[in-house]
Amino acid sequence: MTDAIVVIGFINTGKASLYHSIRKDNLGLKVAYLFDGVGTLPQSVLDESNGYKTLVEDTCIELQNGSIVTVMEEEFIGDFILKKGKFDKVIFFSHPFESTFLLEVLSCADEMEGSLGDFISSVKLINVVCILDAESLLDDLKSDKKVGDIMKIMSNEEDGEEEEGEEIDNQDIDDKNYEKELSEKFEKQQLEKHDHSSCCDEKGVCSSSTKQKDTKLECGKGCQKECCDDQNDEIDDLKDLDADIDELVKSSDKLVSTLILEQISISNIIILNKIDKIEKSKLEFIGKLLNLISSSLVIETSYCKIPNFQLLFNYVVTIRDYKLESETDTETGISIVNYYQRKPFHPIRLHKLLYDTIEKNENNQLNLTTNFKGVLLTTGLIWLANDMKNKYNFEILEGKEMIGNKRPFWSTMKESEWNPAIKENIEREIKLFKYQDRKIELSIVGLQSNGFDKDTIIKKLDQCLLTDKEMELGPNTWEIDFKSDLF
């Protein structure tokens, strides 16, 4: 199988720069570069890829060393990837407004048919690489803009409808109108590519001597004549395009900060780009933030020039540092809080902190309380007093919580099942602490302008811990007295 990576990142983070950096520094490698998204290859990719051979205009090119650069669509993968033989590496570039889509596609190879399924079955995903713009990261995290706002701005800029630098104040984008605008725009682009001059006159009437001249061509609605079969194929493609647009529109209500935090959370390598454009103190704060909320390997770059391309394809194991001190960036008001405890949470008190009631709403979800006001992200692992065997993933993101995906504590597992990369850490914890590796490790990112107060959130979390008297009762009593089905 061919080693592959997925590159994700918001707009203007440097995905095209990474492509050019890899392309220029690794001329001996035959690489398949696949760009996901609607439309053609990024213009910056086409403009600077010198000496390439055009296979399909604006959509698929072949570099001098045999590498292929194309969009992630069935026909191009079948015609230009699978038929080119084995590649040394595969690099997927995600759409800027997506986080997990490509990962979901890659995990469904067994369910896919055709060229795309065959290709995905032949690759092995090694790493997810997230590119961050160091210059704009903190501003993006504190922004109240939604993904749809940015999509709208980009669409208007492309259409020349908006002055440079002008921003849209309206936060409530009409998704249906936006979907219609996108659909019409891309439909127009696709139809302009079809040349009817050989079979239809300027009025859209079939001019072929073998066709009936009184039948009109209704561009955009599907030609009814055999001379325009290609046009019908394009209309079918537009239906698929509409489905892609539907998916993007569904995500348009998501906050930009949420999207970026999602991209960070699913990656195991982070390229922190444009570090030359920020002050050292700001860079240090971003480094602490990333270390606290992510266990990813962080590579600092300018123009996405990484020291060694192979770094992106090495297996990465890092350990998150939960012992960092809490800190606030005074300019943006973003706070990072490390919450680390060797006591368990009382399950009922934690539930009361999180939820107004045990009754679920119409969406089959519990309503979060206002106790986490101003929190952009809370993520980590928790220990519940009524369960001495398992730790639980805990996450709050954009007012939505996730508690679950329990996994056993290392001390309850056989030593042969331990992660060898952190074996020494596991042994040290088991020897040093009364309850071995059982602990609470939470990373919290909050925004002061949204009402976040780090002292308040720490106090509220502390109140959910077992008291000293409850700790004296011991695990056997905890499991009986604090038994709860709330989580």
Compute the distance between CA of residue 448 and CA of residue 458 in angstroms, rounded to an integer.
15
pTM above 0.85?
no
Q: Report pLDDT for 222.
A: 43
Domain at 327-481, CATH from 3.60.15.10, 1.20.1050.10, 3.30.1220.10, 3.50.50.60 = 3.30.1220.10
Nearest to 336 by CA among 138, 134, 130, 145: 138
Compute the distance between CA of residue 146 and CA of residue 382 in angstroms, rounded to an integer.
30
Kindly report, residue by residue over 160-198, the tens digit of the pLDDT: 433 333 333 332 333 334 334 444 444 444 444 444 444
Nearest to 347 by CA among 440, 434, 410, 411: 440
Residue intervals of the chain classified under CATH 3.40.50.300 are 2-140+255-313
Domain at 2-140+255-313, CATH from 3.20.20.70, 3.30.420.40, 2.40.128.520, 3.40.50.300 = 3.40.50.300
Tokens of 188: 């127009």
DSSP annotation string for 198-243: TTB-TTSBB--TTS-TTPBP-TTT---SGGGHHHHHHHHHHHHHHH
Which amino acid belongs to residue 84?
Answer: K
Is the Cβ–Cβ distance between 294 and 40 less than 8 Å? Answer: no
Write the Ramachandran bin of 123: left for phi over 0, alpha for psi from -120 to 50, otherwise beta.
beta
Cβ partners under 8 Å of residue 433, min gap 6: 342, 439
Answer yes or no: is pLDDT of 27 > 90: no
Kindly report, residue by residue over 263-299, the tens digit of the pLDDT: 998 899 999 999 999 999 999 999 999 988 888 899 9
Residue intervals of the chain classified under CATH 3.30.1220.10 are 327-481
